[in-house]
Structure 1
Amino acid sequence: MEYASLPPGQLTTSTAALACGVQPATIRDWVRRGLLARAGGTPKRPIYRLADVIAARDLPKPSRPGQRATDHHA
């Protein structure tokens, strides 16, 4: 269940993923890897700041063995 409404500039995992054109699992991975910090919410329903999400999207991502090589900003 998502939040009914959030203050402007605040996103759920799902809306953050939509804003970046990625899957929600990618947002959770960015948090796990320290590229994005939660701005509130609960452990199961985190909230992120839009500016932080955009900054995380634009950071260079280290590749992992077996990971597909993609360049979304070419």
Structure 2
Amino acid sequence: MKLRIFVTLKPGVLDPQGKAIGKALQGLGFQGVNDVRQGKLIELDVADDTTDAAIDEMCRTLLANTVIENYRVERA
């Protein structure tokens, strides 16, 4: 089973990489970009019988820092 794990910073957490991307886009002449938030996409291929609880544990233990990040699992 293929999974996509989207990891993003929680609202209110400073995102210096997002700010740098936003400034770079402005510097390149792109208009209308009001805000940029940067995150990660992790693709996993796991056994079909992998439980939701095991997937959640993977995310909470290693893939996301749940103090400052949210994650969302999508089955691809």
TM-score, with structure 2 as normaliser = 0.29
Question: Greater CA radius of gyration, 1 or 2?
Answer: 2
Which structure has greater strand proportion? 2
Task: Identify which of structures 1 and 2 has the higher relative contact order when contacts are C-alpha pairs closer than 8 Å and 6+ apart.
Answer: 2
* TM-score normalized with structure 1 length: 0.30
